[in-house]
Amino acid sequence: MLFMILAVFFGWLIFRELISSTPKDSVSLGYMGVCLLLAVLSIWKPASIWLLERKMTEVVHVLADNKPTKVRCEGVVESIFDRTPMTWAGYTYFDTGDVVFKAGWCKQLKRYLKNPDKADQRVRYSVMLLVHEAMHVRGERDEQLTECQAIQRYYRTARMLGVPEDTAKKHGLLYYTTYFPQHPYYSPKCAPGTSMDEELPDSLWQFLHQA
Ligand SMILES: [Zn+2]
């Protein structure tokens, strides 16, 4: 919001200069050039967040069997006034299907998409977060089932986000075999051939032999 206000402010400075009676000499043109540059820089961040939110919304919509949803990236200031009980990562409004990524988590996903091969565990987890919330949008409320459904769709999600095939497999398997057993939503029943196995054609578990 702050960046949008700044963009409007610099736009207004340009407009004011344009309609003023002062001669449009090199000083005036230079001034307007600087204002234009600052306006573009100010709008760059909100525009890139908007594009990311749009992409995340599309992915969640498909993963959630086309249920209505809207993914939103919470800003730092906004998070201060966020009174929902979730204090970490993200959450879903079950009544509307809307998803909120808490402050900093959209940045992690952005980092991941920019360079997935260099991503650390926290950055990689942003993909799990997206697919986990998508499973809530799909209708699942039980956290262990939600996480297990998300794991099975990790590969699908990463590919939808444009992550290369090998990286999508590697990171999904790494999460399932290494980090998931330490997760609060871990269940030993989340494994191939169990009641939690949805037998998806593109399940991450198809690649378990490569782990
Ligand atoms: Zn959850």
Integer Cα distance of 19 and 135 in angstroms = 54
The enclosing H or E element of 129 equals helix 121-138
Q: How far is the CA of 170 from the centre of ligand 1 (A)?
A: 23
Min mean pLDDT across 24-28, 107-111, 126-130 is at: 24-28
From the CA of 91, how far away is ligand 1's center (Å)?
A: 7
Distance from residue 90's CA to the centre of ligand 1 (Å): 8
Mean pLDDT of the region 120-130:
95
For residue 164, give Cα distances in angstroms to 113, 122, 156, 168, 179.
10, 19, 11, 6, 21
Query: What's the 114 CA to ligand 1 centre distance in angstroms?
Result: 26
176-200-62 Cα angle (round to 5): 95
CA 194 to centroid of ligand 1, rounded, Å:
21
Dist. CA 132 → ligand 1 center (Å)? 6
What the block records as the tokens of 187 is 């269940």
Work out the average pLDDT over 146-154. 98
Confidence of residue 210 (pLDDT cuts 50, 70, 90): confident
With 90 as the cut, is the pLDDT of residue 115 above it? yes
Confidence of residue 182 (pLDDT cuts 50, 70, 90): very high
Q: What is the mean pLDDT of residues 190-210?
A: 95
Output the pLDDT for position 209.
84
**Bridge pairing between strands 98-101 and 70-73:** parallel
Q: How far is the CA of 20 from the centre of ligand 1 (A)?
A: 56
Going from the Cα of 141 to the center of ligand 1, the distance in angstroms, rounded, reads 7
Q: Is the whole model's pTM more than 0.85, yes or no? A: no
